[in-house]
Amino acid sequence: MPQEHARPSVLITGAAHRLGAAMARAFAKAGWHVVIHYGTSGEAADALAAELPAAETVQCDLADADAAEAMVRALAARLPDWRVLVSNASIFVEDTTRAPDPAVFARSMAINAATPARMARSFLSHARSAAGRRFIQVTDQKLANPNPDFYSYTISKHAVDAAMALLAMDCTGGDKVLRLAPGAILPSHDQTAEEAEISHRMNLLQRRTGAEEIAQGALFLATGPVASGQHLFVDSGQHLVAQRRDVLYLAREETAG
């Protein structure tokens, strides 16, 4: 058996960059074989895999749910101890309640909600692990603290959250469906560094939550004593502060005086 397959395996979608890459590094450090999914960032995925002691890359366009299910089944057929799938990939495209974009809505719902729901079902049906299987869906603090900005994105996150709650109720044996909700962590959309510094402190603790904290949250859900259906917020209390707009725009208003 290849050495990497002596380790438990985790697939992380959208793992070439940002939070996905932080999670990949954390799982690798903890002794896991990491499967790095990417859509178009092949070079970054390969570079990250080369850093890690046991890793591989896999490409799939998550707008194609059939292809995503095929990817899951192919991995399940050859990974002997596939314990965790972290559904991290999503698109974050600007639109509003006043100007919704049908194309953005359709693509957001596909990539952020419909495909993860199908991947979860396929993973729980086909992956092999004597230790039980855990599907971790990355959501958003916006679920508890919504605002009208990034309308399609927000609706898609509510949709996938509902899907995961229902799947969690239907788990049997050692299988679990779990959710991880980050707050504002890394600069997003067209933010400047100055705007990010301000916006990412708009939480109860007035501190920036680090990407490594999200990664450790994912590891805890992957290995800790948690019940199926649990939802972990890692956001320094951002979801407890009502915000009328996305913090990106609140910070922009503040810097504009």
Q: For residue range 209-232, what is the model confidence (pLDDT) as tens digits?
A: 999 999 999 999 999 999 999 999
- Please state, rounded to an integer, the average pLDDT across all residues of the chain: 94
Residue 256 lies in a domain: no
Return contacts of 55-63, CB within 8 angstroms, 24+ apart. Answer: 55/4, 55/24, 55/28, 56/4, 58/11, 62/13, 62/89, 62/110, 62/111, 62/115, 63/107, 63/110, 63/111, 63/115
User: How many CA atoms lie within 13 Å of 206's alpha carbon, on the beta-carbon side?
Assistant: 0
Return contacts of 62-70, CB within 8 angstroms, 24+ apart. Answer: 62/13, 62/89, 62/110, 62/111, 62/115, 63/107, 63/110, 63/111, 63/115, 64/115, 65/110, 65/114, 65/115, 65/118, 65/119, 68/115, 68/118, 68/119, 69/118, 69/119, 69/122
Residue 181 lies in a domain: yes
**What is the structure's pLDDT at 256?**
74
Residue 161 lies in a domain: yes
pLDDT (tens digit per residue) in 177-192: 999 999 999 887 788 8
- Look at 25-29, 114-118, 248-252 and tell me which has the smallest mean pLDDT: 248-252
**What is the structure's pLDDT at 5?**
62
Q: Is the pLDDT of residue 243 over 90?
A: yes
Residues 6+ apart with CB under 8 A from 88: 12, 13, 14, 15, 19, 20, 23, 138
**What is the structure's pLDDT at 257?**
60
**What mean pLDDT is predicted for residues 108-121?**
98
Nearest to 162 by CA among 179, 183, 145, 184: 179
**What mean pLDDT is predicted for residues 149-159?**
97
Residue 84 lies in a domain: yes
Q: Is the pLDDT of residue 3 over 80?
A: no
pLDDT band for 133, please (50, 70, 90 cuts): very high
Residue 22 lies in a domain: yes
**What mean pLDDT is predicted for residues 193-198?**
87
Backbone angles phi, psi at 23, to 5 degrees: -65, -40
Residue 202 lies in a domain: no
**What mean pLDDT is predicted for residues 8-13?**
98
Residue 213 lies in a domain: yes
**What is the structure's pLDDT at 255?**
77
Residue 247 lies in a domain: no
Q: Is the pLDDT of residue 2 over 50?
A: no
CATH of the domain at 220: 3.40.50.720
Query: CA-CA-CA-CA torsion for 153, 155, 157, 159, nearest 10 degrees?
Result: -140
**What mean pLDDT is predicted for residues 40-57?**
98
**What mean pLDDT is predicted for residues 73-91?**
98
Q: Is the pLDDT of residue 1 over 50?
A: no
Note the pTM of the prediction, 2 decimals. Answer: 0.95
Please tell me the total count of domains within the chain. Answer: 1
In which domain, by residue range, is 227 found? Answer: 3-190+208-240
